[in-house]
Amino acid sequence: MSPIKQFRQHIDQYFIVASLIILILFFGMLSENFLSLTTLSTILNQLPSLIVVTIGITLVLIVADIDLSVGSVLGLSAAVVGISVVGLGLPLPIACFLALAAGATCGLINGFLSSYFGLPSFIVTLGMLEMSRGAAYMTTNSQTIFIGPDIQFIALPISNTGVSPALVIALMIVFIAHFILNKTVFGRYIVAVGTNDKAARMSGIDTKYYKVVVLTLSGLLAGLGGIFNAAYLGAADPNAGIGLELSAIAAAVIGGTSLMGGRGSIIGALAGVLIIAVLQNGLAQIGVAEPSKRVITGAVIIVAVLFDQWKTKKGALN
């Protein structure tokens, strides 16, 4: 590969990261307080649940499916943590295990129904969105369950570092997922299945199995997001994660993931999450009102996808 082409590829790959840095500097110039460690740490520690959910969504999009249920599954998982610790008096690790199991089960059901019964994942996960939200209300009696400091330590910065255990776990998962996607047979297979399901099957890949695994992973990660959410609030809120699936899809797409399957990036997805978060916090700090914030965020999503499409087209011509 020629050095020029290599350089170009690096630019394409890191373009999204570069835009993120420019955005941070931009708000840093406009607002005095923005470029402080406290602000950045505050922003970052809000994000672990969105980060892990977005990783799940990105994998699902790569395999050419969609998962609309992640927000509700997150809510259900938070509810499971709450009821386990407060209602049943179980130790936190067991509560967390049950929450992860609940998330993975929802994902497994999504994957099983869409793969083996040939239902569109859009419809199956839309149904799951309703069901798991309902289940969250049932387990909590529609009340927020206060848990308190027993769980909050997960979301609070470790002394002097500004980084919470949840953020560390989320970033570790980012790197593991990135590695799996790019360096392993499993990652290669899900890209193949998402690109051309039939061709993948004819190469001897059990495409249904991989779709089920990916949707289960997405549920599992939503379950983890539920734990992080409960930790952040110090309480299990049955309304947690409403609309989160759309933020996660937006972040994945800003990060260069295609809705048509076969193309996506975990690092890009992380950058997508950060861009949305920096944009929202930055706009708030410089005094932009909530309605205008939403207009701007929406526009950024569209422009990012437009630009990405233009880039891909140009790449295909070369």
Partner 1 sequence: MSEVLLTINDLHKSFSTPVLKGINLSFMRGEIHSIIGENGAGKSTLMNILTGQLYKWEGSIIFEEQNYSPTKPSDAQLFGISSAAQELSIIGTLSVAENILLRKLPNKLTFVSTSELEGKARYFLDLIGLEHIDASMLAEHLTLGESQLLELAKALAIKTFTECKLLILDEPTAALSGPQADKLHSIIKGLSDDGVTIIYISHRLEDVRQISDRISVMRDGVIVKSSSASNLSIDNMISMMSGKPFLGRSDRNDNQIYELDSILEINGITNKYFQHPISFKSRKGEIVGVAGLAGSGRTELLKALFGLSSINTGTISLITNDSSEVIKNSRQAVKLGIGYLSKDRKKTGILAGQSLAMNLTLPGLSLISSTAGIIDSKKELEVTQDFISKLAIKCTDNTQSIESLSGGNQQKVLLARWLHCDSKVLLLDEPTRGVDINAKHLIYNQLNNLRQQGKSIIIASSEIEELTNICDRIIVLSNFKLVKEFKKECWSKNEILTAAFQEFTTSKSVVNPQNISKNRESNHVSN
Rule CB under 8 A: which residues touch partner 1? 1, 183-186, 188-189, 191-192, 195-196, 198-206, 262-263, 316-318
Q: Pick between residue 138 and residue 176 the one whose CB is nearest to partner 1.
A: 176
Nearer to partner 1, 44 or 205 (CB): 205
Minimum distance, C-beta of residue 313 to partner 1, in the bound complex (Å): 12
Closer CB to partner 1, 50 or 213, in the complex: 213
Q: Which is nearer to partner 1, 198 or 289 (CB)?
A: 198
Token pair recorded at residue 258: 């295609």
Q: Which is nearer to partner 1, 24 or 191 (CB)?
A: 191
Closer residue to partner 1 in complex, CB, 38/318: 318
Between strands 145-146 and 235-236, the pairing is antiparallel
- Whether the CB-CB separation of 263 and 257 falls below 8 Å is answered with yes
Q: Which is nearer to partner 1, 238 or 264 (CB)?
A: 264
**Phi, psi dihedrals of residue 204, rounded to the nearest 5°:** 90, 15
Q: How far is residue 285's CA from residue 165's CA, in Å, rounded to a whole number?
A: 26
To the nearest whole angstrom, how small is the minimum distance from the Cβ of residue 255 to partner 1?
A: 17
Closest CA to 173 of 12, 42, 50: 50
Cα dihedral across residues 194, 73, 213, 276: positive or negative: positive
Distances (CA, A) of 134 to 33, 58, 73, 239: 41, 25, 10, 10
C-alpha to C-alpha distance for 222 and 228, rounded to whole angstroms: 10
Q: Which is nearer to partner 1, 37 or 317 (CB)?
A: 317
**Cβ 8 to partner 1 shortest distance, Å:** 12
Q: How far is the CB of 205 from partner 1 (least distance, A)?
A: 7
Quote the least distance from Cβ 210 to partner 1, whole Å. Answer: 12
Q: How many Å apart are CA 221 and CA 239, to the nearest integer?
A: 18
Name the residue nearer to partner 1 (CB basis): 196 or 297: 196
Amino acid at position 231, single letter: A
Task: Quote the least distance from Cβ 195 to partner 1, whole Å.
Answer: 4
Does residue 305 contact residue 253 with C-beta atoms inside 8 Å?
A: yes
Which residues sit opposite 235 in a β-bridge? 146
Q: How far apart are CA 250 and CA 280, in angstroms?
A: 14
3-class SS at 146? strand
Residue 193 CB, nearest approach to partner 1 (Å): 10
Tell me how far apart the alpha carbons of residues 261 and 265 are, in angstroms, rounded to a whole number. Answer: 12
User: 40 exposed, middle or buried (CB, 10 Å; 0-12, 13-18, 19+)?
Assistant: middle
Give the shortest CB-196-to-partner 1 separation in angstroms. 5
Q: Cα–Cα distance between 129 and 249 in angstroms, integer?
A: 15
Residue 113: CB minimum distance to partner 1, A: 21
Q: Can you read off the two tokens belonging to residue 40?
A: 């950045």
